[in-house]
Structure 1
Amino acid sequence: MEMFQQFDYGLPACWKNSDLVVYLVDFLRKTGMLIDILDSVPLPKDPTNPSSIYNLPPSAAKFKIRDIDLLRVGFAPASNEDIVIPPAEVTNFPKHYVLPNINGEILARAKFDVHKFGCISDPKVQTFFDKLHDVVFNGLGVVGTDETFTDTLVDDLLRIVELNDWPLKIRNHPPCRLYIEDEPCVSSIPEFVIKNKGSIFVGVEDKHLKNVRPSTDYGESQIAVEVLACGNEDIRSVDRQDWKDQTIYVVRVISRYVTFYKAVIPASYWEELLFGLPKQQSIVIKRWPGANGLRTGFDLAEPDGRQKVLTALIKIRQYLI
């Protein structure tokens, strides 16, 4: 109720002290539904306190660069792959998804026909390359900006490397919330989450080049909140005395370009969030490849890009199990 006591939401005067309104708001807050309602309503700011939790956007999708500063989260390029991608032995590599004779130029053709490639006989591989053509051609902007192409392609990628095989399982669009002072302050719905043994793999898709903005650092401000919300949901499922540092891997997909991230969240960061925004602890999320932009990730349309993405995903899978 503190949020509603501090600000005037235009409620009739007779409502403001109504027991029914107090009960309703408290119920919505405790069930987590309040943050969903406020997600569609511009939250009032607290100009008297720039570090107030009320100055945070209500959802990950609305975060900008300036907002993650309040959470003391930043990004940095990794100097080499091993800083982000866990070391693991790669066995049974699905080399039939690389195919050096299929590249971006071929996939961008309007009349691309997967049946004309005699080197592809597996129906699953044929479907993958046909979907990849859809993503590449859609990225040209000549047929609109359908975002479903990237969704289904990424879903296939995860299954190709067995990230949906026991003991792992994909959860698509799980609702997550970041709690500060034990209040659900920010909502998040990542594309997918895979958890096992205290480690988490999160997917964030920006889907089309035209939908990505520099004001979000090309989606990184959203990634920061997705990481925190997923980590927070996980840490709150165990007793406080058992809190441990968390490792969270992230994949960002902008159209056909793939970037990997690794975040290590100390348990002490969550301790600070119990009492408000962090003052001492901070998080640096490492990025690979190191540059950040619309097209700086590994290019799935190119054979070398596919090989690097599949290899990284396999290593993450090995780490998770």
Structure 2
Amino acid sequence: MNGSTKKYLPDLPITFVSRKRTLETEDASSSATRQQPKRLARGDSVITEATSNLRLSSSSSDLDNLPSSASLFKTRDIEELRVSFEPASAENVVIPDVRDFLATNVQKLQKYILPTLDATAIGNPTFDVENFSDITNDKVQTFVTKLHEVVLNGVQVIGTDETFTDTLVDNLLRITKLDCFPLMIRNHPLNKLYIDGEPMVSSNPEFVVRKKVGKKKLAMLVIGDKHLNNVTSANGYGEPQIAVEILACGSENLRSLGGERPTDQKILAMRVISTYVTFYKAVIPAKYWEALEKGLPKDQSLKIQRWPARNELTSGFNLAQPNGRRVVLIALAKIRESLLQEVERE
């Protein structure tokens, strides 16, 4: 048991006999003897209660050892929550296969793909989008300029104030209309993960996409490298933080339901490290939520799917390359269409 939470058994009741008189009468001695079983019984009761309190404090101690903020979570912490990541076997495990997904959806995004514009050109310090006669659309010029700023800063300055990932991601979400009603972006919403009825962990993701239906539901979160704590291989390149951000979003959804029983929840996530994009999908079972209502889950667990499958610093889809842009833009378009179909069903 952690020394900071160690509790001691309370002192058992002890009777001190006054010796004001040298001799005590036989009646007084007999009376003291008759009281002894009651005192021992009280002592047994105190021991039982104290042992019970120690068991409770052990469970409470486990919760108290969790970081108070999602940004502080490490792999060992999500193991306490029985959460793990696994590589998806195929793209459609994470990115929804949308029924009747029209080719026109792709055609509208084609102007952002720019097949001849690669990472070398975009990362050139002298790059100026106005020098490209084939890039005349002002929205495309804005996107490409923001992409150039991120590439120019490079992976070596991940997490510093000089990065431009935030503005690039914001632009990307708006290009794919994830900020068009009934879908809306919320910037830096404060969420709480409730465990055992208490707000145990705070979460502040960069962007959350919510669905405006009956009760507002958080459907997707996006975190850039600037907001990922400790983006290293030792900490899964921020995946422990992503896990808790997902759970906090789901916890907020449950609170919006009031007294209704928990249901299975699907929450998507996107991690952006420099120009590299990775997608995640979590389907959180109702039984997992029920377990969290009682404390840390013992028998329930959660697996979060990752696409692309590998988890490395530059293993995501690279927005600086034409094919990477194409994959990410189409994936976000499919996610949007899937969310709109969910709104219609709800």
Q: TM-score range by the shorter chain?
A: 0.7 to 0.9
Q: Could you say which residue in structure 2 is the equivalent of 1:176?
A: 191
1:198-225 deviation line (CA, Å, top 9, x unaligned) = 5611111114999612232001000000
1:204-251 deviation line (CA, Å, top 9, x unaligned) = 111499961223200100000000001001111114434210000000
Unaligned runs of 5+ in 2: 8-55, 341-346
Q: Could you say which residue in structure 2 is the equivalent of 1:314?
A: 333
Letter in 2 for 1:306: R
Q: Could you say which residue in structure 2 is the equivalent of 1:130?
A: 145
1:296 and 2:315 correspond: yes
Equivalent residue of 1:56, what SS? coil
Instruction: Report which stretch shifted further, 147-156 or 287-296.
Output: 147-156
Q: Could you say which residue in structure 2 is the equivalent of 1:105?
A: 120
Larger helix fraction of residues: 2
Q: Following TM superposition, by how much is the alpha carbon of 1:113 offset from its aligned partner in structure 2, in angstroms? A: 0.8
- Which one of 272, 286, 302 corresponds to residue 267 of structure 1? 286
Q: Percent identity?
A: 54
* Equivalences for residues 1-321 of structure 1 within 5 A: 52-88=62-98, 89-90=101-102, 91-93=104-106, 94-139=109-154, 141=156, 145-196=160-211, 198=217, 200-207=219-226, 212-321=231-340
Q: 2:69 and 2:333 mapped to 1: Cα distance?
A: 31
Q: Could you say which residue in structure 2 is the equivalent of 1:31?
A: none
Unaligned runs of 5+ in 1: 9-45
Q: Following TM superposition, by how much is the alpha carbon of 1:146 offset from its aligned partner in structure 2, in angstroms? A: 3.4
Contact 1:199 1:247 in 2 (8 A): no
Contact 1:212 1:219 in 2 (8 A): yes
Structure-2-length-normalised TM-score = 0.76
Q: 1:285 and 1:244 mapped to 2: Cα distance?
A: 17
Q: 1:159 and 1:52 mapped to 2: Cα distance?
A: 41
Equivalent residue of 1:218, what SS? helix
Equivalent residue of 1:311, what SS? helix
For the aligned residues, what is the CA RMSD? 2.5
Change in Cα spacing, 1:78 to 1:112, as seen in structure 2 (3 Å) is same
Task: State which structure, 1 or 2, has the greater radius of gyration over its C-alpha atoms.
Answer: 2
Structure-1-length-normalised TM-score = 0.81
Change in Cα spacing, 1:293 to 1:147, as seen in structure 2 (3 Å) is farther
Change in Cα spacing, 1:147 to 1:281, as seen in structure 2 (3 Å) is farther
Q: 2:258 and 2:112 mapped to 1: Cα distance?
A: 43
Equivalent residue of 2:202, what SS? strand
Change in Cα spacing, 1:141 to 1:51, as seen in structure 2 (3 Å) is same
Q: 1:119 and 1:200 mapped to 2: Cα distance?
A: 37
Letter in 2 for 1:77: P
Q: 2:286 and 2:58 mapped to 1: Cα distance?
A: 30
Q: Following TM superposition, by how much is the alpha carbon of 1:194 offset from its aligned partner in structure 2, in angstroms? A: 1.1
Q: 1:210 and 1:204 mapped to 2: Cα distance?
A: 11
1:168-210 deviation line (CA, Å, top 9, x unaligned) = 1000100001111111111110011112255611111114999
Letter in 1 for 2:236: D
Contact 1:208 1:254 in 2 (8 A): no
Contact 2:218 2:253 in 1 (8 A): no
Instruction: Report which stretch shifted further, 214-223 or 88-97.
Output: 88-97
Q: 1:179 and 1:156 mapped to 2: Cα distance?
A: 32
Q: Number of aligned pairs?
A: 280
